[in-house]
Amino acid sequence: MMKALFIQHDHVSPTGPVSERLRHHGFEIEERLVVSQDNFGKPNVDFEFPDFNDYDVIIPMGAPWGAWDDACIGNWLLPEIEWIGQAVASGKPVLGICFGGQLIARAMGGSVAPGAKGEIGWTYIWSENPDLVSNGPWFQFHYDHWQVPPTAVEIARNPVSSQAFTINNSLAVQFHPELTASALKGWLDWGGDKKVIQDGQDPVVMQAQTFAEESAARERTFDLVDNFLKQIAKLI
């Protein structure tokens, strides 16, 4: 049986339809949590990353912290960047989601920095390869932007930021294909509601929109996972 490892950086990042689709393809799912709920307010914890060779695919997920912020989370951020870089360089398939995609960018010679404008909510993107990454809409919740690594191929963007790139057998996406309405509630409950309001949006309406979008978004995520496994990871 093939094995997939999810790196969950915080306690409110369920793996959602991404892991659901991997299970459909026969993957055994392992989830490792970096920052526990008890440490959420002091996230610069120590964490030991496993041998990536024990897994067939690695999925580093999102986080409420900056992928550039070595001062805040460097105890585990810097080791994770090195670990991901070694995995991607070796040809190990990595699917980086939002913060996880930014880690791939840093690890492979790109960069990550706060952007002039963040993105929160459901947005369309422009994909040059919609048979791999569709135009969406996809859910966004980020303030930081990556610079694409020099050997990567950018395949999607929008007017705010780069949205997806491929490198070796790996794919980075800036959006959140794993998001469900219940996951969004967790984000809002743990401080995201204030960020939504500061962005001039209504978190109640955003939650209702996510409920309405959930079924179609789930199918888009299934397609994304299938396309990644077939075209990039070459595992099915």
Measured from the Cβ of residue 40, the count of other Cβ atoms closer than 10 Å reads 14
As a whole number, mean pLDDT of residues 24-32 equals 98
Q: Within a domain: residue 187?
A: no
Reply yes or no on whether the pLDDT at 229 is more than 90.
yes
Per this entry, what is the length of the chain? 236
Within a domain: residue 52? yes
25 pLDDT more than 90? yes
183-196 per-position pLDDT tens digit: 999 999 999 999 99
pLDDT confidence tier of residue 212, bands split at 50, 70 and 90: very high
Mean pLDDT (whole number) for 133-156: 98
The total number of structural domains that make up the chain: 1
Q: For position 117, what pLDDT does the model report?
A: 86
Q: Is the pLDDT of residue 50 over 90?
A: yes
Residue 162 backbone phi and psi in degrees, to 5 = -60, 145
**Which tokens hold the place of 157?**
């963007």
| pLDDT average, residue stretch 167-182 | 98
Beta strands in 106-151 (DSSP E): 111-123, 126-127, 138-147
- The answer to whether residue 135 is domain-embedded is yes
Judge whether 90 lies within some domain.
yes
Which value, in Å, is the radius of gyration of the alpha carbons in the chain? Answer: 16
In this prediction, what percent of the chain has a pLDDT beyond 90? 99
Asked, for residue 186, whether it belongs to a domain, the answer is no
The CATH number that applies at residue 98 is 3.40.50.880
pLDDT surpassing 90 at residue 43:
yes
pTM over cut 0.85: yes
CB-side exposure of 236: number of CA atoms within 13 Å? 17
Mean pLDDT across the stretch 158-165?
Answer: 97
The answer to the question of residue 199 being in a domain is no
Residue 76 domain-assigned?
yes
What are 54's two structure tokens?
């024990």
Per-residue model confidence (pLDDT) at position 104: 99
| Bond from prior residue into 17 cis (ω within 30 degrees of 0) | no
pLDDT digits (tens, 9 = 90+) for 58-108: 999 999 999 999 999 999 999 999 999 999 999 999 999 999 999 999 999
Q: How many CA atoms lie within 13 A of 179 on its CB side?
A: 33
Residue 67 is assigned to a structural domain of this protein: yes
Average pLDDT, the chain: 98
**For residue 162, is it left (φ>0), alpha (ψ between -120 and 50) or beta?**
beta
- Determine the structural domain holding residue 163 and report its residue range: 3-179+217-232
